[in-house]
Amino acid sequence: MRALLVIDVQVDFCPGGALAVAGGDAIVPGINAAMGAYDAVVLTQDWHPAGHASFATSHPGRAAFDSLQMAYGAQTLWPDHCVQGSPGAAFHAGLHTDRADLIIRKGFRPAVDSYSAFFENDRTTPTGLEGYLRTRGITEVTLAGLATDYCVNYSAQDAARLGFAVTVRADLCRAIDMGGSLAQAMTDMTARGVVIAG
């Protein structure tokens, strides 16, 4: 049984959004076309409360893309994005959301960010996705979405660590790529046993 995990294809991560990934909207048709080949489709949705700890605006004197030490480790500070209920938090209008069997919302805890579809950034608090996939009998997952070097990367590595067979469709992802983060993510995913396709 195979699942397609579609990571954070939301307005704020697409061109014109608060944390836009270059070409983020270009992957939507390909993701839609791929959905029919899988036994399950899961969408993830960044879903931050206003004033989230990962927002630079929550830390006076700090700027977006600064790094700050949190209780759970280093945290990149981001522009305010994907605030719960805001237009920017919505899925891209062209994404076929009706095909989704499950939508996982992440990053809703005010004090901890969540890149991975499986765990918060403290690396221990689960989102519930692992249990869902196991009860559905899913053993293989393919990932697509935004951004390759952050939420896709963390999700893929966690899936592999949890024992799933993992493929990342690089052609159906786009990256932020800050300071070589894309190359590092590809190296780390491959080392974890993730297959990079596309």
Bridge partners (DSSP) listed for residue 118: none
Would you state the structure tokens that stand for residue 138, as one six-digit string? 């899913």
Question: Catalytic annotation on 8?
Answer: yes
Active-site residue, from 14, 82, 106, 149 = 106
Question: Catalytic annotation on 151?
Answer: yes
For the chain, counts of helices (H) and of strands (E): 4, 8
Question: Catalytic annotation on 173?
Answer: no
Active-site residue, from 14, 151, 158, 173 = 151
Task: Please state, in angstroms and as integers, the Cα–Cα distance from residue 82 to each residue in 61, 119, 139, 159, following that order.
Answer: 22, 18, 30, 24
Which residues are marked as active site?
8, 106, 151
